[in-house]
Structure 1
Amino acid sequence: MQKSLSLLMVAALTLSACNSWSDSRANPSNWFGSSTSTPPPAEAAYDPDVLVPPEREGSGLFSRPDPVDNSVPIAKVDELRINPTPSGAIIYVRGTAARQGAYGAQLVRVENAENQKNGVLEFTFRVSYPSYATNQGTERSRAVSDAVNVSLDDLNNTRLVRVVGQQNALESRRR
């Protein structure tokens, strides 16, 4: 044990006396140089999906093309009601379609700078029709309705609510 301890002491003293170790490539503290100041890099756009490949149409086994919007404005808007709720209002609209079979009724919000400046909340009442011919039928059989919920934030800046169809438009002003 005496020999191994003395041999270990001699090896440690010999290595510590070596000055070339501090400049050696084998020394991990020399792998990187000291830090220097540089100007910041140019602003890079943050893209959280940088590793997600872009979607291509028809790229998957079960992929479908995007649906085509075939809706048109309803022929005539008959009724516009605005019912207040605790969280805003419900805008209810009833209209008459040009022919029977109208489906997919929806109030599509029209957003432009002029409406925002004037405090106008404008919707287009749109419906879809079947691809095959249908009867015109009675006015009652062509009646279509839809409603949309509007928040208090949207109503705070609104002075006029307008719903547009093909033949007419109905408006309701704030009192």
Structure 2
Amino acid sequence: MQKPLTLLLVAALTLSACNAWRNSRVNPSNWFGNSRSVPADTATAGEVNPLLPATRGRDAAPVDRSIPITAITELKVEPTPTGAIIYATGVANRQGAYAARLRPELTEENAENGVLAFSFRVLYPRDPTPQGPEQTRRITEAISVTNQDLEGIRLIRVTGQQNAREARRR
């Protein structure tokens, strides 16, 4: 009778110690917490004359016609053995948005502050499309980043037109 009781007690104590691993900073699934919504930064860098092209002739880069998605509704960072996968879900202004991508925003300020920032951009059809319900305008995009990209990163931010979502490293 004493042997099963002792084994049961040891098993219970061992299982209760698992809770410490779940909340530990060593556990990779705790590296980034839940995302939160923050206001979007709408500041533009310098004055630009929209009537003058940036470059002329054959050397001109293709024009990026994508625009930020209307609102970011979810941001999730899932660790992988080689880094992490960043999932962002947003709601477009109208139906038919396509070619969604998370475009990195590389600035010195972000690098100094340990911020990995992305802009969630989409393209819309030239012809007008109905707005429709939110479920039909929801778009999810993901990007994979390596451990080298995450080195020194404390915050991941995805920006849309109306808001941005952030996930902090714990």
Give the TM-score of the pair, scaled to structure 1: 0.62
Residue 78 in 1 paired to residue 73 in 2? Answer: yes
What does 1:26-175 align with in structure 2 at a 5 Å threshold?
57=58, 67-175=62-170
| Pairwise CA distance, 1:156 | 1.6
1:66 Cα offset (Å): 6.0
Q: Could you list the per-position Cα deviations for residues 117-162 of structure 1 after superposition, in whole angstroms to 9, with x for gaps in the alignment? A: 0000000000000001000000000001110000101112100000
2:48 is matched with none
- Deviation, 1:114, is 0.5
**Which 4+ stretches in 1 moved above 4 angstroms?**
none
Query: What is the root-mean-square deviation of aligned Cα atoms in Å?
Result: 1.6
Determine the C-alpha separation between the residues in 1 that align with 2:151 and 2:105.
Answer: 17
Distance in structure 1 (CA, Å) of the matches to 2:63 and 2:110: 27
**Larger relative CO (CA 8 A, sep 6+): 1 or 2?**
2
Aligned length: 114
CA distance in 2, matches of 1:124, 1:107: 6
SS of equivalent residue, structure 1 residue 116: helix
Q: Larger Rg: 1 or 2?
A: 1
Aligned-residue sequence identity (percent) comes to 52
Q: SS of the counterpart of 1:99? A: coil
Normalised by the size of structure 2, how large is the TM-score?
0.64
The runs of 5 or more residues in structure 1 that have no matched partner are: 1-55, 58-64
Structure 2: gaps spanning 5 or more residues: 1-56
